[in-house]
């Protein structure tokens, strides 16, 4: 942490933080943004500018150029655009504070950096195995394996799985009927033998025990009151399984969707079939999985 030397900057930094607090900014903003302002003020001190009145918009531009060539101390990599935008936000808030407090009328305006494309994470087959092995031998384990059958085995989106009803699991036909997919397009997703078995066992034995005396057609039932699971509850449960499996990647239900698509591509399935399996409206959305594989080679 760079310590400020200018008494004027020290007071500015302190009063700026208090201003953010008075305006009810989030604790995260109050913790991070003043630190970025301190870095900017320290940079001005290094350039021989120790008073607010000496700072100009060009100094903000010079600071931005400095940041673009700087590497994170922990990662050793150049700052991401998202990280750079945090500094832009900090200087914009500083400008607003200086104007509203009557200390200066300068505008420290920086160009917002475009968001960087996010690479979809996916699990290896070994990690998927560990995820299945993390399920318990009780009624919740029966439900967990059914959830994995839906989110990994069938590649459903979070809301698609949460909206499933008993009538949508067509065991006699070996498919899952997805009625409320993205764009309201229905599709029938084939069930592999292991996934069919997991869902059948859950519907026959696990779900009735969880349901207790309640009446609902929703497939996934919560652990305590026999009520349908909401999307957030399902997401949290998957995260708990990931933690139990000691998988270090950031994994959610959509990661499981990416994983099955990648594994199907690895097995030789054509992109057109994967597109239909996932319910993509165009092949462009499915092309991402070819990039995922190429990144691993």
What domains appear along the chain, each with residue ranges and CATH number?
7-100 (1.10.150), 125-295 (1.10.443.10)
Q: In sequence order, what are the residues at sequence separation of 6 or more whose Cβ sits closer than 8 angstroms to the Cβ of residue 94?
A: 16, 37, 40, 108
User: Given this model, what pLDDT does residue 5 score?
Assistant: 93
For position 76, what pLDDT does the model report?
A: 77
- Confidence at residue 111, expressed as pLDDT on a 0 to 100 scale: 79
Q: State the pLDDT at residue 39.
A: 94
263 classed as catalytic:
no
d(CA 83, CA 113): 9
Q: Is 254 a catalytic residue?
A: yes
Active site residue 280: yes
- Residue 297 pLDDT: 47
Of 38, 145, 254, 263, the catalytic one is 254
Tell me, what's the pLDDT at 160? 93
Are the beta carbons of 154 and 195 closer than 8 angstroms?
Answer: yes
Residue linked to tokens 């309201």:
184
The reported pLDDT for the residue numbered 207 is: 95
Q: Residues 9, 97, 202, 289: which is the catalytic one?
A: 289
Q: How far is CA 286 from CA 61, 86, 123, in A?
A: 40, 32, 17
Q: What is the DSSP string of 9-28?
A: HHHHHHHHHHHHHHTT--HH
Give the tokens for residue 56.
């100009």
Active-site residue, 297 included: no
With vertex at residue 205, the alpha carbon angle to CA 194 and CA 179, rounded to the nearest 5 degrees, is 65
* Residue among 42, 96, 130, 182 flagged as catalytic: 182
Please state at what angle helix 253-266 crosses helix 271-278, rounded to 10 degrees.
160
Pick from 217, 228, 200: which is nearest to 142 by CA? 200
What is the DSSP annotation of 85-145? Answer: HHHHHHHHHHHHHHHHTTS-------PPPPPPPPPPP---HHHHHHHHHTS-SSHHHHHHH
Residue 258 annotated in active site: no
Residue 119 has what pLDDT? Answer: 63
Catalytic residue among 17, 145, 196, 257: 257
Give residue-wise pLDDT tens across range 126-170: 999 999 999 999 999 999 999 999 999 999 999 999 999 999 999
Question: Within a 10 A sphere around the Cβ of 106, how many other Cβ atoms?
Answer: 17
Ranges in the chain, pLDDT < 50: 182-183, 297
Residue-level pLDDT at 71: 82
Question: DSSP 3-state assignment of 196?
Answer: helix
Helices (runs of H) and strands (runs of E) counted in the chain: 14, 3
Catalytic residue among 17, 143, 157, 196: 157
Name the catalytic one among 13, 17, 36, 280.
280
Asked if 253 and 158 touch (Cβ cutoff 8 Å), the reply is: yes
């Amino acid at each position: 942490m760079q310590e400020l030397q200018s008494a004027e900057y020290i007071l500015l930094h302190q009063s700026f933080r208090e201003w953010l607090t008075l305006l009810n900014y989030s604790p995260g903003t109050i913790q991070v943004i003043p630190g970025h302002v301190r870095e900017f003020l320290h940079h001005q001190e290094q350039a021989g500018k120790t008073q607010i009145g000496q700072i100009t918009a060009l100094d903000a531009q010079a600071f931005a150029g400095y940041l673009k060539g700087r590497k994170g101390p922990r990662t050793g990599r150049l700052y991401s655009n998202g990280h750079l935008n945090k500094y832009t936000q900090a200087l914009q808030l500083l400008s607003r504070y200086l104007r509203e407090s009557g200390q200066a009328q300068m505008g420290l305006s920086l160009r917002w950096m475009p968001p960087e494309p996010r690479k979809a994470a996916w699990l290896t087959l070994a990690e998927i195995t560990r995820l299945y092995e993390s399920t318990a031998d009780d009624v919740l384990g029966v439900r967990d394996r059914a959830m994995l059958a839906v989110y990994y085995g069938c590649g459903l989106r979070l809301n698609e799985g949460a909206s499933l009803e008993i009538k949508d699991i067509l065991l006699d036909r070996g498919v899952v009927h997805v009625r409320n997919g993205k764009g309201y397009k229905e599709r029938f997703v084939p069930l592999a033998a292991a996934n069919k078995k997991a869902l059948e066992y859950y519907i026959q034995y696990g779900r009735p025990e969880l349901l207790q005396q309640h009446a609902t057609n929703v497939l996934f039932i919560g652990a305590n009151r026999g009520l349908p699971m909401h999307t957030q509850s399902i997401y949290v449960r998957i995260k708990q399984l990931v933690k139990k499996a000691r998988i270090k990647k950031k994994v959610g239900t959509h990661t499981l969707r990416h994983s099955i698509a990648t594994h199907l591509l690895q097995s030789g399935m054509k992109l057109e079939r994967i597109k239909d399996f996932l319910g993509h409206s165009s092949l462009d959305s499915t092309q991402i999985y070819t990039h995922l594989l190429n990144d691993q080679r």
